[in-house]
Structure 1
Amino acid sequence: MKITVILASYDSGHFHGGMGQGPDALIAGGLVDALTMAGHDVTVEDIGRVGDNQEREIATGFAVCEAVSSQVRLAGDENRFPIVLAGNCLTSVGAVAGESADAIIWADQHGDLNTPETSTHGFLDGMALATVLGLCWRPMASAVPGFRPIDPSRCLLVNARDLDPAERQLLQTLPVIRTECPGVGQATEMLKAAGAGRVHMHIDLDVHDPEELQANRYASSGGPSPEQLRDAACAMALAVPVVGITVSAYDPAFDAKADVPPLVGQLLNDLIATIEGR
């Protein structure tokens, strides 16, 4: 497969800070080599610095989304499959826009469903999925080229277990599909029945059980092992048409043994093989 890996090395508006170091660390850890050895034609595009370099979380976060949208759309124009490596989950707004995605699989220990009205932390990334679903930051998101909010009925939330009270309350009112790994089959059938035609797969690496793999400073007990996540992701990719992938939230400072990059390589190689074989 022809693949474009897109680097978006920002964390909360800071270039190469915190989880913004993750994309480069994944590349240095052999991700491109792993994909190439599996027979794929891989190019790497780095969005670099964006915006006015003032490193303001909100403005810079959406500038990153705009740059990612452009790179993803260019990849699609060249019949290349986009894989976005991002520091922040909000970046999936740009990927969804560039792919013209109409459905999303969101694997994350967090719901990312806060809004400015409900957030008690003021963390923009905690509003990432809410933004994708059109629940907040609408003017900023609408300025991202190609962005259209995804209907909550075509959202599959995987292994979200660290939820704020307002997120739990919201999920009682939204038709978001929820599941855990393993056991994604029925949920994926529901996503298909909801009309998912172009699915973006978002994987926040802190979805894993921190006893098995810790990717950043956020750790909540439970979650899948790397093997369970790979199996679930491939089962979902076999059932619905995945048109792009985002891998986010890797902070190498919390990975002293550099366990994460090879596991991401295995995950992506298995996913791409599944997508090719559909």
Structure 2
Amino acid sequence: MNKNISIIGVPMDLGQMRRGVDMGPSAIRYAGVVERLENLGYEIKDLGDIEIGQAERVHNNPDTNLRNLKAVAEAGGKLASTVDEVISSGDFPLIFGGDHSIAIGTLAGVSKHYENLGVIWYDAHGDLNTGDTSPSGNIHGMPLAVSLGIGHEDLTSIGGSAPKIKPENIVIIGARSLDEGERELIKEKGIKVYTMHEVDRMGMAKVMEDAITYLKDRTDGVHLSLDLDGLDPSDAPGVGTPVLGGISYRESHLAMEMLEEAKIITSAEFVEVNPILDEKNKTATVAVALMGSLFGEKLL
């Protein structure tokens, strides 16, 4: 894996309704991520945080059913440009959220550098809603759809023409809460999904083996988008939309270790850490521990 890492913080809390997730990047830094990665031999540049605009007075536009559309789109554009610059400089982009709407900007920036970008979406949710299908209007439930070119033009046009990724290059792992519109889109586009049923039945080792094999030959780079609510709330309580019955801490370490062994990850983001909802920064600490495994930390 690239030994030069540039960290980008995105203190975004406008893609959903629960305050506090804007402090996620600070919580992850406080949990010792820089020191941990430096101890593994990486050269770390912390580029600070992307500036986030203000919430709109009318948070949920009745014409679009999108909450804080302008501010989320502007932040996505800034992040896309920063990620593009990081990759152009030869560094590995490591992004800290912030809510999952930031992935719109991340993927817009990363996708400029790959013909067939693969995506591992490690999440309890599909994030495949649009303004038409979303029950809430929260954009953090839409970034994967937006990256496929499905959704409001202010979002799909970030970083240039849409789509940024192809449905056959996506693997969702850990899903256990999908809205009806998301289920229909998954079936329509043929997106590969390993729900918790598959994780339980097959085991995490087999799920990751299959996912890595599936992506390795069809992609020229793979982005990891890890939402901490993909883990069970007992292991990662500090998230805005916890769902019981998630991936365990140990299974998640195994997944990261297998990705490191496969040498396929070319960019990554860790999102939805909310210190206000957390227990003594436990969730940020878990995120940093998983980054350790992703970047090659070994017990022996």
Fold conserved (TM > 0.5)? yes
Q: 1:167 to 1:143 in 2, by over 3 A?
A: closer
Task: Decide which moves more: 133-142 or 154-163.
Answer: 133-142
Q: 1:170 to 1:147 in 2, by over 3 A?
A: closer
Q: Which amino acid aligns with 1:55?
A: A
1:208 aligns to what? 231
Partner secondary structure for residue 7 of structure 1: strand
Q: 1:41, 1:68 → 2: CA distance?
A: 21
Q: Which amino acid aligns with 2:138?
A: F
Q: 1:59, 1:72 → 2: CA distance?
A: 20
Following superposition, the deviation at residue 82 of structure 1 comes to 0.7
1:82 aligns to what? 93
Q: Which amino acid aligns with 2:152?
A: W
Match of 2:188 among 155, 173, 194: 173
Following superposition, the deviation at residue 46 of structure 1 comes to 2.3
Q: Which amino acid aligns with 2:236?
A: L
Residues 146-165 of structure 1 aligned to structure 2 (within 5 Å): 148-165=163-180
What TM-score results when the alignment is normalised by the length of structure 2?
0.83
2:25 aligns to what? 23
Q: Which amino acid aligns with 2:72?
A: G
Work out whether 1:55 is the aligned partner of 2:55. yes
1:107 aligns to what? 122
Q: 1:249, 1:106 → 2: CA distance?
A: 13
CA offset digits 1:79-101 (Å, max 9, x no partner): 21110001121212222222225
Equivalent residues of 2:8, 2:95 under 8 A apart: yes
Following superposition, the deviation at residue 55 of structure 1 comes to 2.6
Q: Which amino acid aligns with 2:55?
A: E
Q: Which blocks of at least 5 consecutive residues in structure 1 are unaligned?
A: none
1:249 aligns to what? 272
Aligned length: 270
1:272 aligns to what? 295
CA offset digits 1:97-150 (Å, max 9, x no partner): 222252211011111111111111111111111111212124432232586421
CA RMSD for the aligned pairs? 2.2
1:8 aligns to what? 10
Equivalent residues of 2:77, 2:159 under 8 A apart: yes
Equivalent residues of 1:70, 1:145 under 8 A apart: no
1:72 aligns to what? 83
Q: Which amino acid aligns with 1:26?
A: I
Following superposition, the deviation at residue 262 of structure 1 comes to 2.7
Q: 2:286, 2:209 → 1: CA distance?
A: 23
Partner secondary structure for residue 295 of structure 2: helix
Q: 1:214, 1:256 → 2: CA distance?
A: 7
Q: Which blocks of at least 5 consecutive residues in structure 2 are unaligned?
A: 57-67
What TM-score results when the alignment is normalised by the length of structure 1?
0.89
